[in-house]
Structure 1
Amino acid sequence: MKENAREILSYLDYTSLSITDNKKTISKFIRTLHPLLEKGYDVAGVCVYPTQIDVVNKLLKNYSLQRVVVGCGFPDSQQLLGTKINDAAALNQLAIDEVDVVMNLGLLKAGKLDLLFDEIVAIRAQLPLKKLKVILETSMLTKKEIVLAAQIAIRGGADFLKTSTGKNGGATPQAFEQMCKVVVEHFKETGQKVGLKVSGGVRNLEQALEYKEMVNQICGEVFLHPSTFRIGASSLLNDLLNYIED
């Protein structure tokens, strides 16, 4: 199980998105990774609020993890589009690699699909230097809506599809399966690989391996790489350490 845990660790976006995050708590959060990184273990990335990225970069300056922030209306996407566009432009200037944004489910539920597509395109245009992950918040969607949301996000320029913010329920295998099917269909049609990120509720190795196997079975082994598969979590690390440090 140690090798399984090590592989899952390589897909981990180690995440802290608490309302009380501050320099002290994020410093402690990041220092948890240092012993692993010093031993040569791989972690995919660190995901925090933009206000904390300077702390992350300072403490990880010697390591090549992906720097991920949330923005553009996280976690509800109910801000004015102009506000989201301004936020995206500001995020593009930060020393980060990726931005996780929430799809506007109000537009989706109202059937205003053209406006929804245009919004994603507008945000994408402000982030030419960053990877864009679009959060579908699958716990709020039907199976048909998950497929539709995934298709719109991909057409709008998403580099990754992400299940959840973690604020309104987490990922489920059923929802993730629908996302995988959309991604693999897009890959077959275009040759373009869009990444998949599971987030919310993945707390142990067994759950993580279930999602990994789903990617392998539906999308293929070619997607089992941190560039196309991530798991966003915080407490998952504690469980992985039980196997890695055994």
Structure 2
Amino acid sequence: MTTPLAEVAGSNATLRAFLHGLPGVDRVGADQRAAILGTRSIKTTAKAQALDAAIQMVDLTTLEGADTPGKVRAMCAKAVHPDPDDPTVPSVAAVCVYPDLVADAVAALRGTAVKVAAVATAFPSGRSSLEVKVADTTLAVAAGADEIDMVIDRGAFLAGDYRKVYEEIAAVKAACGAAHLKVILETGELATYDNVRRASWLAMLAGADFIKTSTGKISPAATPPVVLVMLEAVRDFFARTGRRVGVKAAGGIRTAKDAIKYLVLVNETAGEDWLTPEYFRLGASSLLNDLLMQRRKLATGRYGGADYFTLD
């Protein structure tokens, strides 16, 4: 990779040359390394710390057509105080909602440290005009969103139109203003780990603050090998540019055991500087309850019922 990064996005040809010049991913090696790291044993004290760290990295999410302002307000209350009976439980990182519900989330979270993220840009398909995507982002930011989760045009990416994808990300980033931009790759549609690496670099080159695995609307969503590839990409991008980009694993993460596996993966691949809500997130709707159940088990020696905590 000898092309100056300032020149890489000059044309589709230069982008293609750069992205296809990235080192290929050894699929067998990535699968095996992710599997090995997933077997790491976490001792009791470290597990307690890991559970609290994972809670603080959660983007508590509701992205259903039937979402209501009342449901969002209830979710926001849980985001701030995940277990009302235990004030030592930390708040989550953010709540993630559709753009039209941002104002309700902002009002409910005023005075707290919990961020409001909005999925914009024709989520989850990303199939709309750039003008609509920018307008969607602008409205969400105006309503108070701290973070925007955008989806890339997978059709354009898979067709090799990298410049179009780059320009859309850059335009949405500009529309974000002070809000952070998370770029959703929808890795389940990218087919290969090489494409995941290319899409990761393309998003970072265009200004992404985070790269995110999935919308959670298709399967497969987040998987350890895919997250491994993305973590390698942000590590290598930081080494080359000095700019640290975060990773968000989203979709299909339901248990504390899964969450802790991802924390191990972060630590062993990108390093402990990424083990913070600033640079690693877990996007989920049902994960938080299992984290709370496991936390209570460690503290009391017994599980609470699955319905003890509010259902999401």
TM interval, shorter chain, is over 0.9
Partner of 2:257: 206
Q: 1:90 offset after TM fit, Å?
A: 1.9
Counterpart code for 1:152: L
Q: Distance in 1 between matches of 2:201 and 2:157?
A: 12
The worse-fitting range, judged by mean Cα deviation, of 2-11 and 77-86 is: 2-11
Q: 1:25 offset after TM fit, Å?
A: 2.1
Structure 1: which 5+ residue stretches go unaligned?
A: none
The worse-fitting range, judged by mean Cα deviation, of 81-90 and 155-164 is: 81-90
- TM-superposition CA deviations, 1:191-212 (whole Å, max 9, x none): 1110000000000011011111
Q: Distance in 2 between matches of 1:103 and 1:55?
A: 26
The worse-fitting range, judged by mean Cα deviation, of 151-160 and 29-38 is: 29-38
- TM-superposition CA deviations, 1:83-132 (whole Å, max 9, x none): 11222222231212100000110100111111111111111111121100
Contact 2:100 2:140 in 1 (8 A): no
The answer to whether the aligner puts 1:92 opposite 2:92 as a matched pair is: no
Contact 2:79 2:94 in 1 (8 A): no
Percent identity (aligned): 34
SS of 1:36's equivalent in the other structure is: coil
Return the match for 1:143 from 172, 175, 193: 193
- TM-superposition CA deviations, 1:65-100 (whole Å, max 9, x none): 111110011101100111112222222312121000
Q: 1:54 offset after TM fit, Å?
A: 2.2
Q: Distance in 2 between matches of 1:155 and 1:236?
A: 31
The answer to whether the aligner puts 1:74 opposite 2:123 as a matched pair is: yes
Contact 2:79 2:114 in 1 (8 A): no
The answer to whether the aligner puts 1:166 opposite 2:212 as a matched pair is: no
Larger-Rg structure: 2
Query: Where does 1:1-246 land on structure 2 (aligned, <5 Å)?
Result: 1-36=47-82, 39-40=87-88, 41-141=90-190, 142-169=192-219, 170-246=221-297
Counterpart code for 1:49: Y
SS of 2:277's equivalent in the other structure is: coil
Counterpart code for 1:153: A
SS of 2:288's equivalent in the other structure is: helix
Q: Check 1:110–1:26 CA distance in 2 against 1; reply closer, same or farther (3 A cut).
A: same
Q: 1:34 offset after TM fit, Å?
A: 4.7
How many aligned residue pairs are there?
246
Q: 1:245 offset after TM fit, Å?
A: 3.0
Q: 1:32 offset after TM fit, Å?
A: 2.9
Q: Distance in 1 between matches of 2:248 and 2:158?
A: 23
SS of 1:240's equivalent in the other structure is: helix
TM-score (norm 1): 0.95
Q: Check 1:208–1:50 CA distance in 2 against 1; reply closer, same or farther (3 A cut).
A: same
- Kindly report the root-mean-square deviation, in angstroms, between the aligned alpha carbons of the 2 structures: 1.5
Structure 2: which 5+ residue stretches go unaligned?
A: 1-46, 298-312
